[in-house]
Structure 1
Amino acid sequence: MLNIFKKKTTPSKFKYIDDIITKVNSSVSYVYSSNDLSGNSEYENLKKESKTYQKQYIIDSVNYIEEILNREFENQQKSVKKRDNDIYRYRLTAFAILNGLMRRNLDYTEKEWISLFELVNEKIIALNRNAYGFSLSDFPTNYAIQQIERTIKKEGLSDELSNFIKSMLEWNSLTDTSTSYWGSDLKKSVSKLSKIVQVDGEFVPFILKTNDIGNEVNAIVNHSGENVNELHQLLFLTYDATSSKPSKKFQAQTEKLINAIGKNKYRKIAQEILSIAVSHPISEKTETYTYSNEVREYTQYSYLCDPSKQFIKGIIWTMSPFSDKETLHILSKLLEKSYTKMPGVGPAAAAIGNACIYVMGNMRGKDGLGALSRIKLKLKQNNVKKSIDKYLVEGAKKYNVSVEELKEMAVPDFQLEGGIKSVLFEDYSLNISITESKVNQQWIKPDGKSMKSVPSTVKNSTKLSNQLKELRKEIKEIQKVYSAQKQRIDNQFILNRSWDFPSFKKYYLNHGLVNPISTKLIWTIKNETQSTSVLWIDNTWQNANGEIISWIDDNCTVQLWHPVFATEKEIVDWRDRIIDLELKQPIKQAFRELYILTDAEINTQTYSNRMAAHILKQHQFNALAGLRGWKYSLMGAYDDGRDDELCSKYLPEHQITAEYWVDELNDHDAYNDAGIWLYVATDQVKFKNADGHVMNLIDVPKIVFSEIMRDVDLFVGVCSVGNDPEWQDNNGDRQTHRDYWTSYSFGDLTEIAKTRKSILERLLPRLSKIKDKATIDGKFLIVQGTIRTYKIHIGSGNILMEPNDQYLCIVPSRSPNKSTDKLFIPFEGDKGLSIVLSKAFLLAEDTKITDTTILSQINRN
């Protein structure tokens, strides 16, 4: 066996340690910790020695470890490529014995304890010069502190020891834990030592010694004013937030300290600290290195160091008593940021995000739960969504309502009335209104006239400028909440929910924020004898024929109207009515696609092939699936044991899981730098019941089948490569897939495209610029230009030119098209319809086209 002192003249006390470790290693296969020494005869004999002997052994072990680390450093300097595993093994064993002995009660005196830590700190400083440095995180610091705690309990704390511990608290080796994996253990050490010297109310300042947010946090704490002692005590507690949830002891201690500080004062301090974490950027550092004579780049992402994350987590735990708007706003922003995905790392700060969810899910009132329900729509991690769902379910039980009712109850109205409110700024006012899903702002002069810019009176007043700053924050929040409510109400279709009329008025019709959505939707209202579908027009309920319905009262029930439950005539009547009113619905409803079982699906019984054999852009598909509440994992070009994958959506209200099967498309190495396939091929759609058995399609509720197939049709309609006019050129010799592109680009219309066609049939007579030049023929919008005649496919938006069906490539601009920007479309969100119309407007006046790329194609015979 190895003897590191074999070729050195060394004091015998060092050799005796080497001999003990050599004998330990000869009888134990490997030693990682003191637990591996259990039952070892050499170690047991060492434990039987006197306490004086064992304390000397500990001192000598520190010097022995220094010798081992120096030997490793020498090997490194000599460019020894292969690590000496014997030396490495001896180091592990030495630390294991050291940890084991320090756990025992060795009756340390103050002088012995001070000498030990002086030696350890000396070795840390000496060894920091090399890659095999020694740190307090390696030394059993907390066990050593326990030794002196026992002594103090018996004999009290001397001035000498108190002063030494205070000097220790200034050691960088103890307090700079920003890069240490075991930093949490040293934080415990700091806390233990601080409590020792904090006797009879003596003040010990808290200092966050981290390189990222430490200085900013300390500046806030230093300007905190009165009740400083209690604040610093509380911050020490938050710095020790190591568990996944706050303990009852933590909650009781922090509550007492917050009361002593003052709730409002502490809330503002905590908000300032958390705002630092919100504004702290996710850093991106790119380094270059050479590998096999090739220069490569490596980008590393980071957010906060571990001690800062733990400290922020503790601060979040203290926010449970507060449910004001500012606290919820900060926690919501921090929650979103925490789950921002950093490439190669994962979530930026999952522990902070989990703490936000815990506090928002447990704070007083329903506002925290409402905020969680809104944030859930933005998150992509399914495990996080499940965690939020758990709190929503618990909250629903607590308030004796359903989860959906809880979401409704928690929606803030921002003091809006019908989506409008006016805020005074002395003699001026700012009108805020929701119009077509946008929150608009309009300044009004004292004489009632509008103005375009912020009044100088407001700009030049600190008070009014601060008021405007806060209002703009609220306007951003209104926009976010409004968008979330549109998505939530759109999700209600598949639930087929009912409301009693008083609840409907409270949470929909008369709700300041939801009113602009609910008053543009069709509702089915029933009583014991009658049922009708109505729309709120001029403060009256009117049916599709414009007749006022007067029998509606608080005894009625209300449902969202869906075409799957309507006759064909009723659907046509409502579509005509929406067009006549030029009403732009915030959610596609009157023109919502309807999916009924086909004969082929009845024959296959358990699956639908209607959306099979399409090629989708996988990343776009993944993003859209997440927005629509589906669960999907990107597939990569590596052997992970999966031949195929599925995209699934669970519907708890129906206890049904919908599955859309897809396969990786392995063609010409079509994957990105991360090894993720660029494309996937689609397959069957299936439904499973609560027992996991595949359902016969005729047993699937009509509303569920229609809405699921609508989602799947949307995936294909948005993500298919057939929608990309440049895809066939970008893919060179992929003949098979080019055939797919052609068949999709100019093939039969999907249900979404059929709806688009239905709208075009109604809109064309109203479009003066193109109504005499455009007609619909089957699946094409035919546009008669001066130079050529163009056939725009209503589904894909791709174009063929007569007489020889020559393909015309026009790539849509990402910026809004002025020709269609103010054009009436009966619902929001159909970018495909806008693309078809913008191309029609462009080609109807083809002599005015100046783009050389387009002109070269048009003039080519």
Structure 2
Amino acid sequence: MHSSRVRLLRRHIAAQDMDRVADEAMKALVDNQAYWTGGWEEVLRELRELPAERRRELVHSVAERFPSVGDETESRCNALTLYALAADGLDDDPLAAERRKTLDDLGRQYSLWSATLFDLLAEAEWAAGRVLSPAVVAVVRRSAQDRYCLDELVSLAKKLTEPVLNVGEAWAERAMRDTADADWQALLAHAATATASKPTARWDKRATALVDTLGPDRVRETVLPWLTLVGRPRTLPLDLRAYEANLNNAYDPYNANALRGLAWLLSVLPPHPDTPRALGALVETSLKKVAGLGPRNPKVANAGVIALARIDSEPALAELARLATRVTYKNTAKLLDSALEERAVALGLGREEIEELAVPTYGLTEVGRAEYRLGEATALLEVPGSKALLTWRNATGKPVRSVPASVRRDHPDELTELKAAVKDVDKMLSAQTERLDRQFLARRTWPYATWRERYLDHPLVGTLARRLLWTVDGVTVGHADGELRTLTDDPVRTGHEVRLWHPVGHEPAEIVAWRDWLERHEITQPFKQAHREVYLLTDAERTTATYSNRFAAHFLRQHQFHSLAAVRGWRNKLRLCVDDEAPPATRELPQWGLRAEYWIEGDGEEYGIDTTDSGSYLRLRTDQVRFYPIDAPHNSAHCYGGEYGMWLRDGSDPVDPLPLDTIPPLVLSEVLRDVDLFVGVASVGNDPTWQDGGPDGRFREYWTSYGFGDLNQSAETRRLLLDRLVPRLAIADRCTLEGRFLHVKGERHTYKIHLGSGNILMTPDDRYLCIVPKSNGGSPQGGYLPYEGDRMLAVILSKAMMLADDTEITDPTILSQL
């Protein structure tokens, strides 16, 4: 407020002209865009000190002028704050209806700026004995979480002890319905005090006392169902400003503290197998990303990890190990690493060993199989591939399609546990597949007996290990017909040292022979191994010597690349369209003493077109792949491009990149395979809707060259597989492989499906056909495949099946192009 207006208001106050005071105050509210700024505090103090009669006059003057403030919630709130301040201690309340409406509007806000002083309005309501609605209490509490909020707001939030949690989230409302008595309310209130990074001894002592009062089993059985509701859509959607666009998908910050406390509290209960399952789900739910915000609430995820680390049980250790293969958020991943390292040290084991021992059997009594007798019915849990399967038999041993009624009636708890076990097995299978796929660079060897126990004969891991190739004392073996066998099917029953087989270093004829062996035994590998791409040094790379340009000059979707890199063990920093530097994407290989770098930079400069609303680039440009000693200083470059330079400290000398011909072939191949994966999945050239070249058409040339150009190594592998697979398809007479394309003859056209991108051209004029695959990528139409995990292969096969029978296509978007 300008000093001239302050002086004018003071003159009107001194003259006790309340109409003029109201006029000038309301004008100031409009001029200041509803914010109480410099000078207001003194004026408000003077108004508060006026005699009751003058304040009564001011109340009515403000009430008469109230319609002039308009419908903006914050403007109404400020006018009512002035009104509430003047009405303190008076019986008059001419704006009662407006006050209730404004407070209702406030209850639909996420938070309000401290500068609006809406706490004065809420404080006036509270002081007058009028109960603030739960929604308004939630706004006060959320606003008080802001580090820049006024002390008065924090003080008011502390006074508002009811309800114990904020309304608006399904889990919190369920918790408040389940906990009406004082002991439960005390437990929830204590959970909401979990604002530190980890529980203190004092916090634990109070939590233990509360749990003992209610009973540990009762607490667990009551709290775990709440956690299943975390992350559900808000029960009270908020009216958000443009910059708050995604907060309806985030956690309420006040309730998030309570979630952290509940996670810690579960860790003081006696161990129970349901607890780690619930905590693991809480971690993953809390790390799900919200556009413009990032992970929903990493602090809650971290609390879940801390709780799991405090539980001394095999299921808790298994959940930590599973999460370690899934979590890519840096701080949470560090916590998981630390927890596993501490457990390994405590047991006198290595980190890799603790991960192996942490895999539970989930009740499987033999590799991939378990039977459960429930009354007269039998449940059969089997793991035939990458998913668990639960089937049923009746009293006569006859298979039945659904769960028998007697089981639903007489064994509901066992049925619930079985269904949960199926989900657990699926999650762990995915985690173990990723762990095994990373073992190629781990340089692991196992004593034969240990390997059989932890891998080949392990009830769960065995379902994966028996579909992979290994070397026993240098001899390559696979598992078929109940035994380890050589390429000539001779059994191998003893040995000393075991390694995971990799095609690098093996002759092409031997690799092809093992592919034939897998096919003969109809073994589908959990990931590419026998068909794994091998990246050997090229003449161009011998010329450049210290770097590879093999995967340079591509345009990648940044966020998809970022997620893929994290899953494959690379560290990366999201590029923002700001004046800042970032290191390249890096993968450290401690077993080899090496660090791999993939040089990237942000693309574009227009906010909202080339960036997200938060300013992170949508796309990246790619450059060189290099290798350095693992302890070499890091390189960095500006986020939107420019030369990379090495960050040197204490006068240290720069370290040159290593010649590529000195990099072990296995390391070179696996690193380049990772980079090929990043390009093959995240390239904008894979987007079938980008025929126009994206923003301003500037990617048209790249999209065309990538979408229909030469095949990369993974696409070449796909071509070799399709060459064997196509003759067995039901549509074999309509399909031929020619160069980079699978040709499919339909009734309307002949179609050319590119084996790298899956993009389609129609003959005779090579007109583009846009078919957007479903999110799951489609699926092959039956038949044997030698490995899992090639999404593009599934896309190509599903498109081929559709186009071979193009007269049956009903999708209007596709038909309009035909």
- TM-score when normalising by structure 1: 0.72
Letter in 1 for 2:625: V
Does structure 2 conserve the Cα–Cα contact (< 8 Å) formed by 1:285 and 1:299?
Answer: no
Pick aligned residue for 2:666 from 703, 711, 725? 703
Deviations 1:790-828 (A, max 9, x none): 5543333345566x6624525254288999320211001
Closer, same or farther in 2 for the Cα pair 1:190/1:369, shift >3 Å?
farther
Does structure 2 conserve the Cα–Cα contact (< 8 Å) formed by 1:608 and 1:684?
Answer: yes
Instruction: Quote the residue 2:480 is aligned against.
Output: 537
Closer, same or farther in 2 for the Cα pair 1:724/1:318, shift >3 Å?
closer
Say which is worse superposed, 691-700 or 512-521, in terms of deviation.
691-700
- CA-CA distance at 1:832 after TM superposition: 2.3
- CA-CA distance at 1:78 after TM superposition: 6.4
Say which is worse superposed, 80-89 or 437-446, in terms of deviation.
80-89
- CA-CA distance at 1:521 after TM superposition: 0.6
Instruction: Quote the residue 1:15 is aligned against.
Output: none
2-side partners of 1:667 and 1:78: how far apart? Answer: 37
1-side partners of 2:817 and 2:249: how far apart? Answer: 49
- CA-CA distance at 1:765 after TM superposition: 4.3
Instruction: Quote the residue 2:203 is aligned against.
Output: 250
Does structure 2 conserve the Cα–Cα contact (< 8 Å) formed by 1:208 and 1:217?
Answer: no
SS of residue matched to 2:140: coil
Deviations 1:312-335 (A, max 9, x none): 322322222343221112212222
2:158 matched to 1:210?
A: no
- CA-CA distance at 1:728 after TM superposition: 2.2
2:387 matched to 1:448?
A: no
Say which is worse superposed, 494-503 or 81-90, in terms of deviation.
81-90
- CA-CA distance at 1:533 after TM superposition: 0.9
Does structure 2 conserve the Cα–Cα contact (< 8 Å) formed by 1:801 and 1:807?
Answer: yes
Pick aligned residue for 1:132 from 117, 128, 131? 117
Does structure 2 conserve the Cα–Cα contact (< 8 Å) formed by 1:281 and 1:303?
Answer: no
Letter in 2 for 1:221: T
2:293 matched to 1:355?
A: no
Instruction: Quote the residue 2:58 is aligned against.
Output: none
Instruction: Quote the residue 1:563 is aligned against.
Output: 503
Does structure 1 conserve the Cα–Cα contact (< 8 Å) formed by 2:470 and 2:498?
Answer: yes
Instruction: Quote the residue 2:371 is aligned against.
Output: 422
- CA-CA distance at 1:172 after TM superposition: 8.9
Letter in 1 for 2:719: K
Instruction: Quote the residue 1:640 is aligned against.
Output: 579
Instruction: Quote the residue 1:721 is aligned against.
Output: 684
1-side partners of 2:444 and 2:259: how far apart? Answer: 41
Closer, same or farther in 2 for the Cα pair 1:810/1:238, shift >3 Å?
closer
2:529 matched to 1:589?
A: yes
Deviations 1:280-327 (A, max 9, x none): 7487545589xxxxxx99564254544433233223222223432211
2:567 matched to 1:627?
A: yes
Deviations 1:342-380 (A, max 9, x none): 344444333322211211123213533431332344444
1-side partners of 2:173 and 2:730: how far apart? Answer: 65
2:788 matched to 1:828?
A: yes
2-side partners of 1:844 and 1:410: how far apart? Answer: 48
Does structure 2 conserve the Cα–Cα contact (< 8 Å) formed by 1:783 and 1:789?
Answer: yes
Letter in 2 for 1:830: D
2-side partners of 1:774 and 1:218: how far apart? Answer: 62
Does structure 1 conserve the Cα–Cα contact (< 8 Å) formed by 2:231 and 2:251?
Answer: no
1:696-775 equivalences under 5 Å are 696-729=659-692, 731=694, 734=697, 737-767=699-729, 769-770=731-732, 774-775=735-736
Does structure 2 conserve the Cα–Cα contact (< 8 Å) formed by 1:342 and 1:348?
Answer: yes
Closer, same or farther in 2 for the Cα pair 1:306/1:790, shift >3 Å?
closer
Letter in 2 for 1:755: T
1-side partners of 2:523 and 2:265: how far apart? Answer: 48
Structure 1 runs not aligned, ≥5 long: 12-68, 95-118, 140-163, 195-204, 290-295
1-side partners of 2:187 and 2:695: how far apart? Answer: 65
Closer, same or farther in 2 for the Cα pair 1:256/1:685, shift >3 Å?
same
2:267 matched to 1:320?
A: yes
Instruction: Quote the residue 2:346 is aligned against.
Output: 398
Deviations 1:117-176 (A, max 9, x none): xx999679999969535559999xxxxxxxxxxxxxxxxxxxxxxxx9xx9999999x94
Does structure 2 conserve the Cα–Cα contact (< 8 Å) formed by 1:792 and 1:799?
Answer: yes
Structure 2 runs not aligned, ≥5 long: 47-84, 103-115, 633-654
Letter in 2 for 1:431: L
Instruction: Quote the residue 1:612 is aligned against.
Output: 552
2:451 matched to 1:498?
A: no
Pick aligned residue for 1:266 from 219, 230, 234? 219
Percent identity between matched residues is 33
Letter in 2 for 1:208: V
Does structure 2 conserve the Cα–Cα contact (< 8 Å) formed by 1:137 and 1:186?
Answer: no
Does structure 2 conserve the Cα–Cα contact (< 8 Å) formed by 1:611 and 1:716?
Answer: yes
Say which is worse superposed, 593-602 or 685-694, in terms of deviation.
685-694
- CA-CA distance at 1:276 after TM superposition: 5.4
2-side partners of 1:732 and 1:239: how far apart? Answer: 47
1-side partners of 2:812 and 2:765: how far apart? Answer: 20
Closer, same or farther in 2 for the Cα pair 1:267/1:600, shift >3 Å?
same
2-side partners of 1:305 and 1:124: how far apart? Answer: 36
- CA-CA distance at 1:707 after TM superposition: 1.1
Instruction: Quote the residue 2:610 is aligned against.
Output: 671
1-side partners of 2:778 and 2:118: how far apart? Answer: 65
Instruction: Quote the residue 1:157 is aligned against.
Output: none
Instruction: Quote the residue 1:220 is aligned against.
Output: 178
1-side partners of 2:800 and 2:595: how far apart? Answer: 41
Does structure 1 conserve the Cα–Cα contact (< 8 Å) formed by 2:204 and 2:268?
Answer: no
Closer, same or farther in 2 for the Cα pair 1:120/1:814, shift >3 Å?
same
Closer, same or farther in 2 for the Cα pair 1:343/1:813, shift >3 Å?
closer
Does structure 2 conserve the Cα–Cα contact (< 8 Å) formed by 1:782 and 1:791?
Answer: yes
Closer, same or farther in 2 for the Cα pair 1:345/1:170, shift >3 Å?
same
Instruction: Quote the residue 1:31 is aligned against.
Output: none
- CA-CA distance at 1:427 after TM superposition: 1.2
- CA-CA distance at 1:466 after TM superposition: 4.2
Closer, same or farther in 2 for the Cα pair 1:249/1:261, shift >3 Å?
same
Letter in 2 for 1:541: L
Letter in 2 for 1:447: T
Closer, same or farther in 2 for the Cα pair 1:817/1:190, shift >3 Å?
closer
Does structure 2 conserve the Cα–Cα contact (< 8 Å) formed by 1:178 and 1:211?
Answer: no
Instruction: Quote the residue 2:423 is aligned against.
Output: 476
2:458 matched to 1:511?
A: yes
Instruction: Quote the residue 1:143 is aligned against.
Output: none
Letter in 2 for 1:647: A
- CA-CA distance at 1:493 after TM superposition: 1.6
Does structure 1 conserve the Cα–Cα contact (< 8 Å) formed by 2:557 and 2:682?
Answer: yes
SS of residue matched to 1:662: strand
Does structure 1 conserve the Cα–Cα contact (< 8 Å) formed by 2:686 and 2:758?
Answer: yes
Letter in 1 for 2:585: C
SS of residue matched to 1:424: strand
- CA-CA distance at 1:397 after TM superposition: 1.8
Pick aligned residue for 1:522 from 449, 457, 469? 469
Letter in 2 for 1:245: K
Closer, same or farther in 2 for the Cα pair 1:843/1:301, shift >3 Å?
closer
2-side partners of 1:758 and 1:371: how far apart? Answer: 39
Letter in 1 for 2:740: K
Does structure 1 conserve the Cα–Cα contact (< 8 Å) formed by 2:164 and 2:176?
Answer: yes
- CA-CA distance at 1:762 after TM superposition: 2.7
- CA-CA distance at 1:192 after TM superposition: 11
Letter in 2 for 1:719: A
Instruction: Quote the residue 1:87 is aligned against.
Output: 39
1-side partners of 2:566 and 2:45: how far apart? Answer: 50
Deviations 1:168-196 (A, max 9, x none): 999999x94752344799999899999xx
Instruction: Quote the residue 1:24 is aligned against.
Output: none
Closer, same or farther in 2 for the Cα pair 1:465/1:72, shift >3 Å?
farther
